[in-house]
């Protein structure tokens, strides 16, 4: 069974809600809920923080929630440098500077990759992580010999996306949606986030993230980790579990139905897994 990696990635409160936008950080932040324990929600590739809207309703009553939208995605102004490494470091800096004590990180797709990288490089900062349909090395799923390219030049991809006609880009994104989620009611929202994204950010992060391999760093993660994977990935269980073999704190779970946007396609299962993991000390 062949995997279309491009398709997988491309569309990869009790307190008063407040918004934060600091030019020093490559993301905007929505703060909601209340509680001594904090949760940070990191959306996936070209997605808005609104992807967590239903999830937030489950946790705002007992947790302080920080919902990110990354710079250049879903209408947020882009910011240089556009790199996975910079985004990882700046999320960690935000946690430290805002004195958020050992938050739980929940990341979808590329946001899950960021959660893994932060937990590996800053183990003292994080209490738990939840990875929603992300792999340590996405490209290794179709190419077992995958190795990152040093100093990868992404300029051709950037040029191609920037020169693409708006209608062509729209149609490309729209055609990918049935392969990303079964819940057609959410297609328009996800499509809107994608087409509102900055083309340079879209291309550079696509290039950078597909060149990322987090497998060597998983052994550094100390926090408990829950890995929630789409039902389709059961077909590639040995390869996926091989990628996660060095994450000794991790529990892998496969959804009963649906595709990449698990939070839309298998809500009951997803909420149940989250609550069990997050509420256990």
Q: In sequence order, what are the residues at sequence separation of 6 or more whose Cβ sits closer than 8 angstroms to the Cβ of residue 5?
A: 138, 139, 141, 142, 210
Could you tell me which of 69, 16, 33, 13 has the C-alpha nearest to residue 201?
69
Residue 205 pLDDT greater than 50, yes or no: yes
Give the percent of the chain with pLDDT over 70: 92
Residue 5 pLDDT greater than 80, yes or no: no
Residue-level pLDDT at 139: 96
Mean pLDDT to the nearest integer, 253-264: 98
Residue 34 backbone dihedrals phi, psi, to 5 degrees:
-155, 145
pLDDT tens, 17-57? 334 445 589 999 999 999 999 999 999 999 999 999 999 99
The total domain count for the chain is 1
pLDDT tens, 120-179? 999 999 999 999 999 999 999 999 999 999 999 999 999 999 999 999 999 999 999 999
Residue-level pLDDT at 30: 97
> Can you give the residue range of the structural domain that contains 200?
5-279
Q: Tell which wins on pLDDT, 55 or 280.
A: 55
Residue 256 pLDDT greater than 70, yes or no: yes
Residue 280 binned pLDDT confidence (cut-offs 50, 70, 90): confident
Could you tell me which of 204, 22, 36, 1 has the C-alpha nearest to residue 97?
22
Residue-level pLDDT at 195: 96
User: What mean pLDDT, rounded, does the chain reach?
Assistant: 92
Residue-level pLDDT at 281: 72
Residue-level pLDDT at 21: 44
Mean pLDDT to the nearest integer, 195-217: 97
Residue 87 pLDDT greater than 60, yes or no: yes
Residue-level pLDDT at 225: 98
Instruction: Give the separation between CA 80 and CA 72, rounded to whole angstroms.
Output: 10
Residue 1 binned pLDDT confidence (cut-offs 50, 70, 90): very low
pLDDT tens, 90-118? 999 999 999 999 999 999 999 999 999 99
Q: What is the DSSP string of 18-71?
A: EEEE-TTSSEEEEEEE--SSEEEEE--TT--GGGGHHHHHHHTTTSEEEEEEET
Give the domain CATH number at 203: 3.40.50.1820
């Amino acid at each position: 069974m062949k995997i279309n990696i491009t398709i997988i990635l491309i569309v990869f409160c009790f307190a008063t809600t407040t918004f934060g936008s600091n030019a020093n950080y490559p993301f905007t932040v929505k703060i909601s809920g209340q509680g001594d324990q904090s949760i940070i929600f990191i959306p996936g590739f070209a997605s808005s923080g609104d992807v967590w809207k239903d999830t937030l309703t489950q946790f705002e009553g007992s947790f302080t929630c920080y919902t990110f939208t990354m710079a250049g995605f879903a209408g947020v102004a882009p910011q240089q440098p556009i790199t996975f490494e910079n985004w990882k470091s700046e999320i960690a800096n935000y946690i430290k500077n805002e004195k958020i004590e050992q938050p739980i990180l929940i990341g979808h797709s590329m946001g899950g990759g960021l959660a893994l990288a932060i937990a590996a490089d800053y183990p003292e900062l994080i209490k738990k992580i939840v990875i929603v349909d992300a792999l340590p090395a996405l490209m290794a799923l179709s190419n077992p010999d995958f190795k990152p390219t040093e100093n990868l030049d992404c300029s051709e991809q950037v040029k191609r996306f920037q020169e693409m006609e708006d209608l062509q880009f729209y149609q490309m994104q729209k055609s990918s949606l049935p392969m990303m989620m079964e819940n057609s009611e959410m297609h328009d929202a996800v499509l809107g986030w994608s087409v509102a994204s900055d083309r340079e950010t879209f291309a550079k992060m696509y290039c950078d993230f597909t060149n990322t391999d987090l497998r060597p760093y998983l052994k550094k993660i100390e926090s408990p980790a829950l890995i929630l994977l789409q039902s389709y990935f059961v077909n590639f269980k040995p390869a996926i579990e091989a990628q996660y073999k060095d994450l000794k704190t991790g529990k892998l779970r496969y959804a009963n139905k649906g595709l990449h946007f698990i939070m839309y396609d298998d809500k009951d299962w997803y909420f149940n897994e989250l609550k069990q993991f997050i509420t256990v000390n």
